[in-house]
Amino acid sequence: MRPIIFSKMDFSHSNLFGYIEDLQELTIIERPVRRSLKTPEEIERLTVDEELSDIERAVYLLSSGQDIQGTSVVANLPVLMRQNPAETLRRVLPKIREVLHVAGVEMQLTAAVSFLTVLQEESVSIHTYSHSFLHIILQNVEHRDAGVSNAWLETLLAVIEALPKETVRHEILNPLVSKAQLSQTLQSRLVSCKIMGKVANKFEAHIVKREVLPLVKSLCQDVEYEVRTCMCRQLEHVARGIGTELTKTVVLPELVELARDEGSSVRLAAFETLVNLLDMFDADDRSQTVLPLVKSFCEKSFKADESILVSLSFHLGKLCNGLYGIFTPEQHLRFLEFYKKLSTLGLQQENGHNDNQLHLQTLEQEKKYISVRKNCAYNFPAMIVFVDPKNFSLELYSIFFCLCHDPEVPVRYTMAISFFEVAKLLNSDVYTIHKELVTLLQDESLEVLDALVGHLPEILELMTNGGENSGSESKLLSIPDLIPALTTAEQRAATSLKWRTHEKLLQKYACLPHIISSDQIYYRFLHRMLTIILTNNVLPVQKAAARTLCVYLRYNRKQEQRHEVIQKLIEQLGQGKSYWNRLRFLDTCEFIMELFSKSFFCKYFFLPVLELTHDPVANVRMKLCCLLPKVKSTLKIPTDKHLLQQLELCIRKLLCQEKDKDVLTIVKRTVLELDRMEISVDAEQLEKEKQKNEGRSTNINDKMLEKKRRDSKTSSVLAKSINLSVSGSSSGTSVGKEEKKSKLVRSQSFSTQVLHPKYTNIDKCPNKSSATAYTSSVSGMGKSCMLSFSDDSFRTHSSGNSGNAAFTSSSSRNLFNSADQKNSGNKESQSRKMSIIQLVPKWEGGMGQSEEKTENQTPRSSDRKMREPETGGSNVLVR
789-798 and 847-856 helices, crossing angle to 10°:
130
The mean-pLDDT minimum among 285-294, 454-463, 724-733, 767-776 falls in 767-776
Could you give the 3-state DSSP secondary structure of residue 637?
strand
Q: What is the distance between the alpha carbons of residues 604 and 126, in angstroms, rounded to a whole number?
A: 64
In the predicted model, is pLDDT for residue 303 greater than 70?
A: no
- 3-state SS, 345-412, equals CCHHHHCCCCHHHHHHCCHHHHHHHHHHHHHHHHCHHHHHHHHCHHHHHHHCHHHHHHHHCCCCHHHH
Neighbours of 656 (CB within 10 A): 7
Cα–chain-centroid distance for residue 769? 55
Q: What is the distance between the alpha carbons of residues 280 and 240, in angstroms, rounded to a whole number?
A: 9
Higher pLDDT residue, 180 or 796? Answer: 180
In the predicted model, is pLDDT for residue 837 greater than 70?
A: no
Report the pLDDT averaged over residues 617-637.
94
Identify whether the C-beta of residue 78 lies closer than 8 Å to the C-beta of residue 123: yes
Pairing mode, strands 636-637 and 680-681: parallel
Calculate what percentage of the chain has a pLDDT beyond 70. 70
871 Cβ neighbours under 8 A, 6+ residues apart: 747, 748, 751
Identify whether the C-beta of residue 269 lies closer than 8 Å to the C-beta of residue 232: yes
Q: What is the distance between the alpha carbons of residues 611 and 131, in angstroms, rounded to a whole number?
A: 70
Identify whether the C-beta of residue 650 lies closer than 8 Å to the C-beta of residue 610: yes
728 Cβ neighbours under 8 A, 6+ residues apart: none
213-220 and 225-242 helices, crossing angle to 10°:
150
Identify whether the C-beta of residue 781 lies closer than 8 Å to the C-beta of residue 792: no
Q: What is the dihedral of CA 550, 552, 553, 554, to 10 degrees?
A: 90
Q: What is the distance between the alpha carbons of residues 59 and 45, in angstroms, rounded to a whole number?
A: 15
Q: What is the dihedral of CA 412, 415, 420, 424, to 10 degrees?
A: -140
Identify whether the C-beta of residue 775 lies closer than 8 Å to the C-beta of residue 818: no
In the predicted model, is pLDDT for residue 310 greater than 60?
A: yes
Handedness of CA 78, 83, 85, 88 (dihedral sign): negative
Q: What is the distance between the alpha carbons of residues 342 and 322, in angstroms, rounded to a whole number?
A: 19
Report the pLDDT averaged over residues 97-119.
92
> pLDDT category, 702, cuts 50, 70, 90?
low
Q: What is the distance between the alpha carbons of residues 374 and 713, in angstroms, rounded to a whole number?
A: 107
Higher pLDDT residue, 361 or 528? Answer: 528
In the predicted model, is pLDDT for residue 258 greater than 90?
A: yes
In the predicted model, is pLDDT for residue 758 greater than 80?
A: no
pLDDT digits (tens, 9 = 90+) for 658-689: 999 999 999 999 999 999 988 888 777 677 76
> pLDDT category, 481, cuts 50, 70, 90?
confident
Identify whether the C-beta of residue 428 lies closer than 8 Å to the C-beta of residue 469: yes
Identify whether the C-beta of residue 459 lies closer than 8 Å to the C-beta of residue 510: no
Q: Which of 718, 725, 699 is nearest to 849 (CA)?
A: 718
719 Cβ neighbours under 8 A, 6+ residues apart: 841, 844
> Which residue type does 602 have?
C
In the predicted model, is pLDDT for residue 243 greater than 70?
A: yes
810 Cβ neighbours under 8 A, 6+ residues apart: 854, 855
Higher pLDDT residue, 23 or 429? Answer: 429
Higher pLDDT residue, 742 or 461? Answer: 461
Report the pLDDT averaged over residues 459-487.
68
DSSP assignment letter at 38: P
In the predicted model, is pLDDT for residue 92 greater than 90?
A: yes
Q: What is the distance between the alpha carbons of residues 347 and 370, in angstroms, rounded to a whole number?
A: 10
> Which residue type does 173 have?
L
Report the pLDDT averaged over residues 122-131.
91
Mean of the per-residue pLDDT values of the chain: 78
Per-residue pLDDT at 69:
84
Report the pLDDT averaged over residues 269-287.
91
DSSP string, 593-632: HHHS-HHHHHHHTHHHHHGGGG-SSHHHHHHHHHHHHHHH
Indicate the length of the chain as a whole number.
Answer: 879
Per-residue pLDDT at 102:
86
Instruction: Give me the helices (H) in 388-523, please.
Output: 392-395, 397-404, 409-426, 434-441, 446-453, 456-465, 472-476, 482-495, 499-508, 518-521
DSSP assignment letter at 454: T
Q: What is the distance between the alpha carbons of residues 406 and 335, in angstroms, rounded to a whole number?
A: 22
Calculate what percentage of the chain has a pLDDT beyond 90. 49
Per-residue pLDDT at 37:
65
Q: What is the distance between the alpha carbons of residues 505 and 443, in angstroms, rounded to a whole number?
A: 14
Backbone torsions φ then ψ of 407, nearest 5 degrees? -70, -15
> pLDDT category, 714, cuts 50, 70, 90?
low
Q: What is the model's pTM? A: 0.69
Q: What is the dihedral of CA 160, 165, 166, 171, to 10 degrees?
A: 20
- 3-state SS, 642-698, equals HHHHHHHHHHHHHHHHCCCHHHHHHHHHHHHHHHHCCCEECHHHHHHHHHHHHHHHH
In the predicted model, is pLDDT for residue 51 greater than 50?
A: yes
Q: What is the distance between the alpha carbons of residues 518 and 513, in angstroms, rounded to a whole number?
A: 6
Q: What is the distance between the alpha carbons of residues 276 and 272, in angstroms, rounded to a whole number?
A: 6
Q: What is the distance between the alpha carbons of residues 323 and 401, in angstroms, rounded to a whole number?
A: 27
93-100 and 67-75 helices, crossing angle to 10°:
130
Report the pLDDT averaged over residues 701-720.
65
As a whole number of angstroms, the longest Cα–Cα distance in the chain is 160
Identify whether the C-beta of residue 852 lies closer than 8 Å to the C-beta of residue 707: yes
Could you give the 3-state DSSP secondary structure of residue 636?
strand
Report the pLDDT averaged over residues 571-597.
95
pLDDT digits (tens, 9 = 90+) for 208-242: 888 889 999 999 999 999 999 999 999 999 998 88
Identify whether the C-beta of residue 856 lies closer than 8 Å to the C-beta of residue 759: no
Per-residue pLDDT at 144:
86
